[in-house]
Every structure is written in structure tokens, then in C-alpha cells.
Amino acid sequence: MLLKYFYDDKLAHASYLVGCQRAREAIVIDPGRDIEGYLAMAEREGLTITAVAETHIHADYVSGARELADRVGAKLYVSDEGPAEWKYLYLDGYTNQLLHDGDSFSIGKIKFDVMHTPGHTPESLSFVLTDQGGGATSPMGIFTGDFVFVGSIGRPDLLEEAAGIAGTAEPGAKDLFASMKRFRALPDHLQVWPAHGAGSACGKGLGAIPSSTVGYEKLTNPALQYDNEESFVRYILADQPEAPKYFAVMKRVNKEGPRVLGEGHHHQMLDLAKLHAALKSGTVIDLAPSSEFAKGHVPGAINIPIGMLATWAGWLVDYDKPTYLICKPEQLEEAARVLHKIGVEEIIGAFDAHSIQASGEADEVYSTAKPSELLPRIESDRVTLIDVRSNEEWNEGHIQNANHYFLGRLPSRLSELPKDKTVVVHCLSGARSSIAASVLQANGVKDVINMEGGYKAWVQADLPKQKETVSLSS
């Protein structure tokens, strides 16, 4: 047997290629949309990808299952558990097998036993692997998807928080408790292969180690220590990270079937003459470093530096409008790949950043200032101070007179801001607040100051702050 681990650090997403070297066949578990890595690995190992299995309908990235089925004819193994509204809708035309609890399927001499492990989502499955080609009669590991992570467990509130399906969080938590008890009954020696690592919003406190064992998780995973359902439900629903609003889009996309990109999919650089039309019709994202953007940018563009694109584009892009980029030509395809992974489909192309600077179109700026320079204006209420950090960060401590507007939800709350004051924006260090400054300016708030060094610099300067124990807003 061959087991290869793939990790997309931008999305904290783990996927796996499992190959039977006797049959020269392979299956990919929970593939991402960019399938080239799987194809290259299979070719390098002399294997043919004949199958794809998904643990559930993912919410945080676009699945590559349909892309593989379309490109290489891979058979789809997907869940048929859960309610009618969470069934796959794109399977016609592709070879597939619908899976239920207790089913099994094989790739060559490698057997996968199916466990229905609902809670994170109603249709969620786990796959228990036995390497029969090596003579084994007992399993060696389990692909848990978003059910059990290293050091954590999948959150049950996404359908309610992100998809807006009211009343599903607590029942999901109870389902998760029952699934957790089934997991604890598994043999301690089983390896655990999850679909996410640290940084994913699919759970809280995920570990950065790529794999674990059932026994180790039973000893150390906080979520696995509960024997009382009510206590478990309270624990698992508390202090979950903000659920990105694009998760609802991903659920629909992966259920209905992502658009097949196809081999050789690419994008184009655009004539600068189309810039103004782009600003009117869609979302224009400038990938420049924030320090460069602050000194001169196109009015109406938002700034998401390329290293932060995967984290924040899903919050800030309008999925119902076309997307355009301002970047260096060599950045276009990588940025487009990231956007496609989170379901941004209509990427029209990009405008060359150097040409824009040379044209004089980048004539809007915003200023920055140190905390000590801003203190008198903040204390005298001559500016509106906006803190764009997460709920957890805000609760740990914040600046007196600050207003909490989490960055991801800032666009929907712009009408709450006063129109007659300068807006000072800050986060922990200044990176997220630079994005916020661009969002504010793109939406008509022109007098914006980004606090240099953010809350960290404020604390280091020993300026007034306060601590809260409950969230004031989101």
C-alpha cells in the first residue's frame, strides 16, 4: 500500500492519495480543486487514479471530486446519509456509489469500511482502512474528514452559523456526541487521518501535527473527555471561531457540483481601458503589499495582499459579481487558483500593477499613525476607533472607546459608522486593519487612518485598555 499526504497550507486542508501497488490503482480522499498534484504523484508512482471518496459535502473549499471524475473517469464514492437537502446533485453522468453506514468498498486490495459519523454535518462519513494486500485482517487507520482532528473535533454549528439553517447547531452537537462515543470504541492503534489542520475554521484548537492515533486522541483531545451529553454540547458550541460567510456558498457549490475547470485553465491580463468598467461591475482586488497600497491605489479597489487572499477573499468578495485583480502578471494564475479553491468562479482577469501606477490612476491614499499620536484624538472622541479583530481577541482585551467590527463582517455594517468623523482602524499588528482601511475607502469612507502596530503596539506603549468577558458584537 502507498499513502501520500497532501496539505494546502492556505486552506489548512489535508487530502490523501492511497494506492494499491499490486493493482496499480489509487483513490484520492477529500481532494481539493487543484488536482494536478494528485495526477503528478500517481504518474510518478505508476498508478492510475480510479476513484475518489469524500467524507462529506465540504464547506470551506471547493472539492476536486468532480474535476477528477471528469478528467480521468474516477468513480465517486460519496455519502447518501443525512436529510434530503444534503444529497449530491451532480452525480448523473459519473460512475458513482452512494455510501451508508456499514458499507465497504475496495481499491485493489485496500478495503474501506464506512462509518456514518454525523455532527459536523448530517451526512458526514469516516473511512476505516484495512490493507488486505499486506495480509492484514484488522484495520490500520481511519480517515475522519472533519469529524475528529488532531486535538479537536469538528464544529456542529456551521449549518446554522454559515448556511443560516436555524436550529441545527444543538441537534448537530448531540449527533456529534454519539459519533464521538463510536470513535472512542475504536482500537487505540488506529492511525487518524483528518481533513484539516491548525488554522481551519471547521473546529477550534486544531493541532498542527498531520496525524494521530485513536488512543492518543482519547488521552489528550479535550472534546473526547466528555461522558455527559449536556456538558459536551455546552463545550462544543462555545468559543468557536467566526464561520466565514462563504462557507454557505461552498456547501451549495459542492452539493450541486463545481464547474469543471479542465486541463489548461488560465486567465488573461486586461487592457487598462477596462478598469473603470470593472470597478463599476465587480470586485477589484489589489494584491499589493499594504504599505504600497496605502501610498497610492485605485479608488474603489480593495486591498488583500496575496498571502492573505485565501483567508479574507471569501469574506469580502461579492460572489454574485465578477472579480478582477490588480497584480504583477506573474501573480495572476496563483491568485486565481486560490480564488477558485474558495468558489470564486467568475475571474475576468487582471490589470498590470506597474501600468496602473504609471498611468496615474492610483491616486488615492490613506495615512498611518502610531498609537501615541492617535491617543489624544481617541480620548477626546474626535475620531471613530474601529477594532477589526476576532471576538476572542476582543474579549481578551481592547482599547477603551473602541468599537468592535470584525473584519469579515465589516462590509455589512458600514451604515453604522458615523459620516462626520475620521475613522481609525486597528487589529493586532496592522495587517488585517490595512485590509479594513481599503474596504472602508472603497465604500466611501475616505478619511481613514490605519494604526501602526495595532493593539500590540498600543499595549507595548502602556496606553489605556480594558478587558471584557463577553462578546459585544461580531
- Tell me: do 337 and 205 sit in the same domain: no
Percent of the chain at pLDDT above 90?
85
Judge whether residue 474 has pLDDT over 60: no
- Tell me: do 100 and 25 sit in the same domain: yes
Positions marked active-site: 427
Judge whether residue 473 has pLDDT over 50: no
- Residue 130 domain flag: yes
- Residue 262 domain flag: no
What is the pLDDT at residue 419?
A: 78
What is the pLDDT at residue 166?
A: 74
Query: pLDDT category, 472, cuts 50, 70, 90?
Result: very low
Last residue of a domain, one of 359, 378, 398: 359
- Tell me: do 29 and 82 sit in the same domain: yes
- Tell me: do 62 and 160 sit in the same domain: yes
Whole-angstrom distance, CA of residue 423 vs CA of residue 91 = 50
What is the pLDDT at residue 25?
A: 98
Q: How far apart are the first and last CA of the chain?
A: 47
Query: pLDDT category, 246, cuts 50, 70, 90?
Result: confident
CATH of the domain at 167: 3.60.15.10
Lowest mean pLDDT among 201-210, 217-226, 327-336, 385-394: 201-210
Helix H or strand E segment including 26: strand 25-29
| Ramachandran angles phi, psi of 150, nearest 5° | -70, 115
CATH of the domain at 419: 3.40.250.10
- The 10s digit of each residue's pLDDT in 266-292 is 999 999 999 999 999 999 999 999 999
- Tell me: do 217 and 331 sit in the same domain: no
Contact 197, 14 (CB under 8 A): yes
Lowest mean pLDDT among 161-170, 327-336, 337-346, 399-408: 161-170
Whole-angstrom distance, CA of residue 41 vs CA of residue 49 = 10
Whole-angstrom distance, CA of residue 2 vs CA of residue 38 = 13
| Ramachandran angles phi, psi of 317, nearest 5° | -80, 140
- The 10s digit of each residue's pLDDT in 166-200 is 788 999 999 999 999 999 999 999 999 999 998 88
Judge whether residue 391 has pLDDT over 50: yes
Query: pLDDT category, 162, cuts 50, 70, 90?
Result: low
- Tell me: do 240 and 386 sit in the same domain: no
- Tell me: do 36 and 169 sit in the same domain: yes
Contact 148, 118 (CB under 8 A): no
Mean pLDDT of the chain, nearest integer: 94
Percent of the chain at pLDDT above 70?
97
What is the pLDDT at residue 244?
A: 80
Q: How many domains does the chain have?
A: 3
Helix 65-72 with 36-44: angle, nearest 10 deg: 50
What is the pLDDT at residue 185?
A: 97
- Residue 266 domain flag: no
What is the pLDDT at residue 205?
A: 83
Mean pLDDT across the stretch 336-350?
Answer: 96
- Tell me: do 192 and 64 sit in the same domain: yes
- Residue 267 domain flag: no
Domain enclosing residue 441, as ranges = 367-466
- The 10s digit of each residue's pLDDT in 93-116 is 899 999 999 999 999 999 999 999
What burial class does residue 285 get, using C-beta atoms within 10 Å of its C-beta: 0-12 exposed, 13-18 middle, 19+ buried? buried
What is the pLDDT at residue 248?
A: 81
What CA–CA distances, in Å, run from 135 to 35, 130, 224, 470?
31, 9, 32, 55
- Tell me: do 305 and 380 sit in the same domain: no
- Tell me: do 68 and 180 sit in the same domain: yes
- Tell me: do 343 and 412 sit in the same domain: no
- Tell me: do 103 and 251 sit in the same domain: yes
What is the pLDDT at residue 470?
A: 44
